[in-house]
């Protein structure tokens, strides 16, 4: 009996010890699982012009990285170059009570009413790269490339590329974007100043065509330009995709050596084309800086600082020699 009793006691002790270890183990695991995450400070709603252009991806990803470092969640959306789509996205940001909204507007004027809706909801709105020109819409701060100065650099590059002979030039435009209006304005100002008082070697801007910042449309517009102006000497494309489309059309028409292209952006594919002599030069932008500065401005605003209503980042003219020294590019073909 004693042995049986002792065995029973021993078994009971082992069982209790095992149960205690299991409870401790489960309790430790449970404590790990239930440890609360660091509370989010809020949500940032971000809608860019198009995710199909790497320039806007870089802006968006830099905003996201900086926002998450500061403890905010980020909703990234693609406006897909459609103002109605971007309006819906902003309305969703308002419903979600975002702490702030960042837009690369799909239309400089028609995006205004939905920004006004955000204003009425007390949500601050910031614009990156592309501005809203609706005077009734309140934007706290606009962070962008100095597009007017960049357009002037493009004009200087065209003068350099064409030399004393001058020639006929077309512009591949995107008139819905305020940034592109400024680029073309700067370009025209420099060309007009160059032509003033000259009897020969003038640069004649023969047309502005709706390249829309798109590679395919840039290709089609260039084909049309070559039909109307066989002796075309130069093309100013307001971004790299349209410049690359123009280059493809020139190659197809066997006029790549005849026409000089000035682009704008400095995307990797554009820089590679400059290195290979397919595009003469680009005023290059810094989308990473635009994204970082946008988020830094929002945080300063949240801290109660007075922020500038416009902050511009200078461009730098990038030529073939720069491409040849650029370690990020492939060897020229």
- When the candidates are 3.40.50.300, 3.40.50.2300, 3.30.365.10, 3.40.50.12780, the CATH number that belongs to 43-139 is 3.40.50.2300
pLDDT digits (tens, 9 = 90+) for 85-104: 999 999 999 999 999 999 99
**How many Cα atoms within 13 Å fall on the side-chain side of residue 204?**
10
Strands (E), the chain: 43-48, 73-78, 100-103, 125-128, 141-145, 167-172, 203-209, 232-237, 260-262, 281-284, 310-313, 316-319
Q: What is the pLDDT of residues 278-313, one digit of tens each?
A: 999 999 999 999 999 999 999 999 999 999 999 999
Architecture per CATH, 147-286+319-324:
3-Layer(aba) Sandwich (3.40)
Would you state the pLDDT for residue 332?
53
Residues of the chain with CATH 3.40.50.2300: 43-139, 147-286+319-324
| 8-17, 24-33, 263-272: the lowest-pLDDT one | 24-33
**Which pLDDT tens digit goes with each residue over 104-137?**
999 999 999 999 999 999 999 999 999 999 999 9
Radius of gyration of the chain (CA): 29
Taking the alpha carbons at both ends of the chain, their separation in whole angstroms is: 95
Task: Quote the CA–CA distance of 286 and 267 in Å, as a whole number.
Answer: 9
Query: Which residues does residue 312 pair with via DSSP β-bridges, in sequence order?
Result: 144
The tokens of 18 are what?
Answer: 């095992």
The reported pLDDT for the residue numbered 219 is 98
């Amino acid at each position: 009996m004693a042995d049986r009793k002792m065995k029973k006691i021993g078994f009971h002790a082992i069982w209790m010890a095992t149960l205690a270890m299991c409870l401790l183990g489960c309790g430790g695991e449970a404590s790990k699982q239930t440890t609360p995450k660091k509370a989010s400070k809020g949500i940032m709603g971000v809608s860019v012009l198009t995710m199909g252009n790497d320039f806007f991806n870089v802006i968006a990803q830099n905003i996201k990285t900086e926002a998450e470092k500061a403890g905010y969640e980020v909703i990234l959306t693609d406006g897909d170059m459609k103002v109605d789509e971007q309006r819906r996205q902003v309305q969703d940001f308002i419903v979600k009570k975002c702490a702030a909204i960042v837009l690369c507007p799909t239309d400089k004027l028609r995006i205004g009413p939905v920004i006004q809706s955000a204003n009425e909801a007390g949500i601050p709105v910031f614009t990156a790269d592309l501005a809203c020109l609706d005077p009734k819409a309140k934007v706290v701060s606009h962070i962008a490339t100095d597009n007017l100065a960049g357009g002037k650099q493009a004009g200087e590059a065209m003068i350099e590329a064409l030399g004393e002979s001058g020639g006929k030039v077309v512009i591949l435009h995107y008139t819905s974007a305020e940034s592109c209006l400024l680029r073309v304005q700067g370009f025209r100002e420099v060309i007009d100043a160059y032509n003033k008082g000259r009897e020969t070697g003038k640069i004649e801007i023969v047309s502005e065509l709706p390249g829309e910042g798109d590679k395919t449309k840039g290709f089609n517009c260039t084909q049309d330009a070559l039909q109307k102006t066989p002796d075309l000497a130069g093309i100013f494309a307001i971004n790299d995709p349209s410049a690359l489309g123009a280059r493809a059309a020139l190659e197809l028409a066997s006029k790549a050596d005849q026409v000089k292209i000035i682009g704008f952006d400095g995307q990797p594919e554009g820089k590679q084309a400059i290195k290979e002599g397919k595009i003469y030069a680009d005023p290059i932008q810094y989308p990473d800086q635009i994204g970082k500065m946008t988020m830094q401005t929002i945080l300063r605003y949240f801290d109660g600082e007075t922020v500038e209503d416009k902050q511009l980042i200078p461009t730098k003219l990038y030529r073939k020699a720069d491409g040849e020294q650029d370690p990020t590019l492939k060897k020229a073909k």
